[in-house]
Structure 1
């Protein structure tokens, strides 16, 4: 079985494992990569709430040795960017101290810090970044894992095996996921439980994008998001591609100005591929703000130092159209102007 798993590619593994699949980043250290493959083959009965199969124990058994072995091959300067490395405290022990959700935040913060201060774009740094991303994915999956059989609270008939995750249209949790998170953290009182039993909780949409409002009328935000779903998915894919390898343009839109826009937009931020909620929310904002590819072209030309008349001539449109487009774009999507060469 182990040989078969080693030989299969990630697409086949994803289909075979279904919701128990844990993605492994391309370029991840082979030792860590293999440990994650072994982990995902065994983790089906494990969860944070299981006494018989505590997920922390499996992390300690399978992941800790691989992380320690990988870190032993690196210079000391890398140790500060992996929780517990170089201190004699295991990866799983840090999770036990701070919890899975906090561990994800710590990992993301350390990865951002590494990229901003230490990343020299060497093959070793690329592998280190990919390995950290893979470990973040692992912890994210563990944090969202539910026991195979669970009931959130006595008297509440909610199926805990329903889809948990983001709204189809943005980075907010679906109504069902958000409610189950509250139940898991025991932040729901009896009155709210009683009310929730009378409501249909969507596992596809957040409260802001649910198809119908509480008064029974169609939700305008849902209709707008539904119409723009294809564009949302396109922008999300572009942002995710660029975040994966931010040092060089990654978006292949067929237009150099659009590709350049995503490169410079992502470069000025600290977004990482693991920041799934933020990436989804930014993609939604791009769509809702009507940030078309034409507007991205205009922003890129403005960044390069052209004035509105020059931009208009370059794109073959009226200067007034350029002015109107720039005025309609939210400030968060503008690029800092390129400094002129003296």
Structure 2
């Protein structure tokens, strides 16, 4: 193990400080440029965020490249070259001479970097502590002399902090903490997959393509950053017969594949509303008329009117439209799509 000089310690401290600052991953990546240039002299540099669904390296920082090179860095070939160079898995930082294949066989190098006068690199993949591939950091130079072993080792030490700086799960975890009583949760991705949330267990209700996930996705399509509603659990794994579903939209930061945080919190029947009344509210939230609600629930309009009178009293509303608005705003309803397939009697 190499000993850190005072200058090395200063660089690592600065990178660590940037890594834990608030803001977006792109803002932190841009702030990392100056300390990175003190690790080894370079004429150009880039940091990318890896999109696992599109298998693309999304740019967070690009410095010093020609327009032609930057267009190449935006394309899919960069990802293929990074994989061919072995940088999609944990390994020490590499220079041109350390690559497992000749640089001339990598189109990003042979067709773009070399014609732009770039002759050397110091590059490493960025990985979270749990092994997730987060992106890549590369420093390029017109000087053909390779970076020294000390520079290579220092970038390796800095890589974990750089990875932390660009990790999109930091934002996701902060969003999840907004719902302090959550007992289960997942993240919904651009492609419709669900990914477990660190620190929270999964739940059968949150399986991909489950009715709850479909309902949550439909409600988020309106663009609201926060959506909440109620969902019954007829096989209560957490001892709760009713969950509050909270769905929060993830900011569209690169790589952009994490779209919504969906959390479950056990709740008693709120405001004394019964499960049947919550189903009625779900239909009213959709704007259904009373005759249509009565027909869907297989009850008479007069029976429905009696339930509605109780609902208005419990919500402190003077009309069914006011009750529906309050139920929507407070998430005090069971979505209509869950009500309609029901064959048993809720009364």
Judging by fraction of residues, say which structure has more helix.
Answer: 1
Question: Same-fold call, TM > 0.5?
Answer: no
TM-score tier (shorter): under 0.3
Judging by fraction of residues, say which structure has more strand.
Answer: 2
Q: Which has the higher contact order (CA 8 A, sep 6+)?
A: 2
